[in-house]
Structure 1
């Protein structure tokens, strides 16, 4: 973020260090500094790299000024606004259909504004950080965003039909944005709309229909807080990334909705007042106010993590510099986290703040004490590894199916796609697809059945569960049924796990409660686990899989008695060339002093899709050699 040095100075009575000195202080204790550029007029632009964990409060001049105040032990001078408002909302109402997406919406209707050029000081501050002036109303909303970090928006109230509503966009709706871009909307996005159509893509970009122009007389001010992940997805979908969307994406405290609102309305009242100017009553939709967040920080934990013994006075001095409210307890502090600091959630977060303000350069290096520590595997890990090893030895391959789909008991709040609206409640639903898709490659792989297993999580109404699923599908004629094969594997698992898997096997897919298996299976030692892992085959040769389809052909030939299978195999392999990737004997019988051999041939290329013509040519070459041997092609 580009920051104006003069803008920062406006928050302090005392003169700040020079721009380069200030940049060094920030770079050491708070943020990485990309550059410092001095500009005419005594100002300087400091390019500060604000990481996502501090974007909620420091993508703004005030947030960075507060950081400077903490680091320099100075008090910031922040304005307090006192508005004269009507008791009447002047007909302004707003409906928030999704309070999870829009956690707070503060708004007001203002009558008789004067839309003109901005005062020079606002134009200069915006110009310093590369923002062009539009008019006083729009400039004030932009100024507040860069001052507080709270995106704001103003609508021409006379162009709004009916009431405002924050809702999900409808399929087929469109909006023309302020920069003239036509955007097709869908149900994954949210909009601010009136009774007719969308007025803005919520949190991303305003629409042209209710644009504030020189002719505007009455306005609606919107200061809302939107869900960051939804804004990020919408921004990427429509291909529009703005200063507003960037701030919403990383999260904004609900308190900022009111702070931004108050500053915006106060500045408009000061710099855009027309004849008969009136501010309506504030509309504040805030269904679930934030609760006070208190973190208990142990002094012993502070000393353990930082490796330094800070006195009570030093700790409390740093708390005071941050403006934290705290209560001293026996060996710890209960610290009330300011609402704007969304990054401070746990004890370690508070300790990290103390450490960087105290100064890591003041912490002396200490040798690491010897630790009598031997890592131990959990029983869950050992049992699962044992199960995987047993199933691999039985010819099973592990698969991982997708967690989301259109079937399940629990719905996804904001699904990634229309066919991924629920979290799976079982593993076997997608197992059928997995078996069928793998069965198509049976000839290429030279297997007679497909055996797969999955160990994964499912979510039901009563919570999360761990399951083991097994599936077998015969792809060629087999005397043994699929259910019989699964029963054999379950018996093998029961014997080796020391716990009877009493599961009914009616079909070719079975699902087992893995948590019960883990709890009731016999534990194995670390040595046994190492033996299991060390016995894994590490000499497997791998090769790339072709993305092109394979072609199947069968060939059968009568040979004189005494001809070996290998004799026929060698001719097929030599004449088939590099396109012949698998040869498998599937039939052999003798009659009248002759032996018939029938082979299944699989052809595939890594470079192209094979044609019938070139495969027929290869088959003709093989048949020609057979005939020269005196054999008869069936």
Structure 2
């Protein structure tokens, strides 16, 4: 959500600068994600009046305008905007002006006509609002006024990350309430209406007066909609003042229609969603009810929505005209021809709205607010304010005989007990009673001291305050988490047995190897699922949050790849990630460890040449993990059929012929799709299968006799893998061979075609005696005989 600092000052008196506001909000639990100016820098742009417009003699698409810039002389301006007309007030960039993008304005000649400046569109001033052509200002805009001053552009915008439990903060008013609680000076209501407008106030159980028009709530829907206001207003504003249009832009919204824009502004200001129906299109009045099987709504987004019986609708005699709290319909929408509206301001219970928008693939500002909870006392008050402002902007008239507020059983105010000892125990510090009472009172709660603490009544706008822990959280965040005391740890340090679980040990190994643990969503898109597991039978969600979170994941790799891509696009040149989590199929869940590496193999340093990671870097990391099971023989076998991995750089990990994991390079097709300019390497291990393997380590006394090293170089056909040769040697070796290690690989002109050479280092040591050369030679011959049995392998000369 975007917040204008100038707009915020309508509700609140404060002396803080923008950085201090951002700090207080963030420390108070509302994250400030970004700070930016309301408009980019530009100068020498003034309000000008277009006096006359004539065709350009040499260009069909250009016209010549005479404009008054307020300095007593008319300026000639050549302009190609289609919406240029005589009598307009428009922005004029004078010669010498500098616009966003380092565009400098000078006197110029266009197709033989002199142009003494430039008339500006919104986009050319960095004020993009979705419109095309010149930025048209109010007819009363002062000619010659500096545009930045006139539009109050020296403002700053905060982008806030509002958590789902804080629906009350999805408005300027809500943020102002929090800042007031955090220490701002004075909170006031700039929307208070002094002029009273009367209309019918009825109990929702009353039967509506039958006639050509009525407003009602069906009995089955009264719990879902306990408050509904519908005002019939003749006349609508033709244009909003510049300062309101500019507020709409700063809120991140494009202009649609003056009436719709006005209602959006009130929603951003107060948090109360509003809707307007074209009154002349409504047949027989409005009724709040549950949808009927087979009904369809022609929604404003251009789609026809198939409604279900658990969806609340606003309907007239012909059928639904709006999906309550979510979206309106095209048949009753406000257009340029609208002359009368029915203004809707209602309270819908969150449970009646939650999930419906996502089920239909919708995401609207109204639904977001109703799902989280809107102040249930607010709707009639906001309707009164909108009516008053409409009367300031245009000639309008309330048709009182066709205007109604229907009220039923509103939610009860929540009573919450807060114990002082519990508060101090949880927060770890004492609080004076007066401080607690002041904090909670500034938050809008009604406080009554009782014997062991306080009894608090939550305000109607705070749906998230329900239990004692909620109040403790409020005291903590408003008093300031940075004021919590810091203590050194106190306790006895003593050695404890190593009883870490395999999961903990795996984490420690990967963290020691410079991996970062991530937690990704258990839901992914069907497209991402098909990239990695095209035939997966993982369950699909019946009510997904979005199309990107539609199915349960059958692999951890899609989430890791998205995280890798996110970091790579932010100039991270060395990425090592892992995740430990569950994957899903139709009938079971499995705990999996997965990881990926990308970019530089090592951090930049003077001692070695920079290089990118390769398959063997990843294999080394996986081997370090598998070393937790020293009694188990793990076999790495070439893999060419895995959908997501490069056929020439992939392997499966086997234990007694059973796959327990996999590793390899990401398939080039996927790497290109995710805009990765370097190879990425992935692995996974089945933790549940590893848990069943023997894990114990046993100490063996060191031999007092010397160890000997002998090297053996073999010439091997290309079709025999190095792992098969190593396995044959290990199987043939006796107990005196302590280690067999490959330390070199060669392939070149000195070898026969179709072969390669491997050099093995053999470490031999006996525990009972010193080995002789004959002993060593016997071991070498035994291993050489073994490897010759798997193919035409020879000693390299």
TM-score, normalized by length of structure 2?
0.44
Check if 1:39 corresponds to 2:151.
no
Match of 1:250 among 372, 386, 390: 372
What is the CA distance between 1:279 and its match in structure 2? 4.6
Partner of 2:444: 323
1:324–1:101 Cα change, 3 Å: closer
Pairs within 5 Å for 1:209-228: 209-228=331-350
What is the CA distance between 1:370 and its match in structure 2? 8.1
Query: Structure 1, residues 433-480: CA drift from partner, whole Å, max 9, x if none?
Result: xxxxxxxxxxxxxxxxxxxxxxxxxxxxxxxxxxxxxxxxxxxxxxxx
What is the CA distance between 1:237 and its match in structure 2? 2.3
Partner of 2:684: none
What is the CA distance between 1:91 and its match in structure 2? 4.5
1:68–1:540 Cα change, 3 Å: closer
Partner of 2:631: none
Match of 1:85 among 186, 193, 197: 197
Pairs within 5 Å for 1:406-445: none
1:298–1:199 Cα change, 3 Å: same
Check if 1:311 corresponds to 2:432.
yes
Quote the Cα distance in structure 2 between the aligned partners of 1:284 and 1:172: 30
Pairs within 5 Å for 1:288-437: 288-366=409-487
Partner of 1:72: 183
Check if 1:50 corresponds to 2:162.
yes
What is the CA distance between 1:215 and its match in structure 2? 2.5
Quote the Cα distance in structure 1 between the aligned partners of 2:412 and 2:297: 37
Q: Which moved more, 1:193-202 or 1:128-137?
A: 128-137
Quote the Cα distance in structure 1 between the aligned partners of 2:199 and 2:348: 28
Quote the Cα distance in structure 2 between the aligned partners of 1:93 and 1:188: 21
1:38–1:300 Cα change, 3 Å: same
Quote the Cα distance in structure 2 between the aligned partners of 1:185 and 1:102: 17
What is the CA distance between 1:299 and its match in structure 2? 1.1
Query: Structure 1, residues 36-93: CA drift from partner, whole Å, max 9, x if none?
Result: 01123111111100001112x1011100011111112422121322444355689542
Query: Structure 1, residues 507-547: CA drift from partner, whole Å, max 9, x if none?
Result: xxxxxxxxxxxxxxxxxxxxxxxxxxxxxxx9989xxxxxx
Contact 1:136/1:271, CA 8 A, preserved across alignment? no
Quote the Cα distance in structure 1 between the aligned partners of 2:455 and 2:435: 16
Match of 2:236 among 110, 114, 120: 114
Query: Structure 1, residues 328-359: CA drift from partner, whole Å, max 9, x if none?
Result: 22231111211111111111211211111211
Partner of 1:166: 288
Query: Structure 1, residues 100-133: CA drift from partner, whole Å, max 9, x if none?
Result: 6623332233342134111222211111122122
Gaps of 5+ in 2: 40-152, 202-211, 493-541, 544-689, 694-797
Contact 1:175/1:182, CA 8 A, preserved across alignment? yes
Gaps of 5+ in 1: 372-415, 418-537, 542-634
What is the CA distance between 1:22 and its match in structure 2? 1.2
Query: Structure 1, residues 270-327: CA drift from partner, whole Å, max 9, x if none?
Result: 32333x5545575233321222322121111111111111112222222332233211
**Secondary structure, aligned partner of 2:378:** helix
Higher RCO by CA contacts (8 Å cutoff, separation 6 or greater): 1
Partner of 1:407: none
**Secondary structure, aligned partner of 1:166:** strand
**Secondary structure, aligned partner of 1:103:** coil
Partner of 1:175: 297
1:293–1:187 Cα change, 3 Å: closer
Partner of 1:8: 8
1:107–1:321 Cα change, 3 Å: closer
Quote the Cα distance in structure 1 between the aligned partners of 2:195 and 2:343: 14
Partner of 1:404: none
Check if 1:241 corresponds to 2:382.
no
Q: Provide the aligned C-alpha RMSD in A.
A: 2.8
Query: Structure 1, residues 583-628: CA drift from partner, whole Å, max 9, x if none?
Result: xxxxxxxxxxxxxxxxxxxxxxxxxxxxxxxxxxxxxxxxxxxxxx
Quote the Cα distance in structure 1 between the aligned partners of 2:200 and 2:291: 30
Quote the Cα distance in structure 2 between the aligned partners of 1:279 and 1:46: 41
Quote the Cα distance in structure 2 between the aligned partners of 1:265 and 1:102: 26
**Secondary structure, aligned partner of 2:367:** helix
Quote the Cα distance in structure 1 between the aligned partners of 2:29 and 2:15: 16
Contact 1:297/1:333, CA 8 A, preserved across alignment? yes
Partner of 2:171: 60
Quote the Cα distance in structure 1 between the aligned partners of 2:224 and 2:335: 27
Contact 2:232/2:402, CA 8 A, preserved across alignment? no
Pairs within 5 Å for 1:84-233: 84-87=196-199, 91-99=213-221, 102-233=224-355
1:98–1:148 Cα change, 3 Å: farther
Contact 1:138/1:154, CA 8 A, preserved across alignment? yes
Contact 1:118/1:271, CA 8 A, preserved across alignment? yes
Contact 2:237/2:393, CA 8 A, preserved across alignment? no
What is the CA distance between 1:161 and its match in structure 2? 0.4
Contact 2:414/2:458, CA 8 A, preserved across alignment? yes
Quote the Cα distance in structure 2 between the aligned partners of 1:21 and 1:326: 29
Contact 2:416/2:456, CA 8 A, preserved across alignment? yes
Query: Structure 1, residues 117-173: CA drift from partner, whole Å, max 9, x if none?
Result: 112222111111221222332112111111111111011111100121122222322
1:280–1:45 Cα change, 3 Å: farther
1:159–1:294 Cα change, 3 Å: same
Contact 2:173/2:270, CA 8 A, preserved across alignment? yes
1:65–1:281 Cα change, 3 Å: farther
Contact 2:33/2:159, CA 8 A, preserved across alignment? yes
**Secondary structure, aligned partner of 1:155:** strand
What is the CA distance between 1:369 and its match in structure 2? 8.1
Partner of 1:555: none
Query: Structure 1, residues 341-390: CA drift from partner, whole Å, max 9, x if none?
Result: 1111111211211111211222213467889xxxxxxxxxxxxxxxxxxx
What is the CA distance between 1:210 and its match in structure 2? 0.9
1:293–1:368 Cα change, 3 Å: farther
What is the CA distance between 1:175 and its match in structure 2? 2.1
Contact 1:108/1:279, CA 8 A, preserved across alignment? no
Quote the Cα distance in structure 1 between the aligned partners of 2:403 and 2:311: 27
Quote the Cα distance in structure 1 between the aligned partners of 2:691 and 2:466: 48
Contact 2:14/2:185, CA 8 A, preserved across alignment? no
Contact 2:181/2:442, CA 8 A, preserved across alignment? yes
Q: Which moved more, 1:79-88 or 1:343-352?
A: 79-88
1:102–1:284 Cα change, 3 Å: farther
**Secondary structure, aligned partner of 2:288:** strand
**Secondary structure, aligned partner of 1:263:** helix
Check if 1:272 corresponds to 2:400.
no
1:64–1:326 Cα change, 3 Å: same
Contact 1:225/1:257, CA 8 A, preserved across alignment? yes
Quote the Cα distance in structure 1 between the aligned partners of 2:407 and 2:200: 19
Partner of 1:24: 23
1:349–1:210 Cα change, 3 Å: same
Quote the Cα distance in structure 1 between the aligned partners of 2:16 and 2:343: 37
Quote the Cα distance in structure 1 between the aligned partners of 2:200 and 2:445: 37
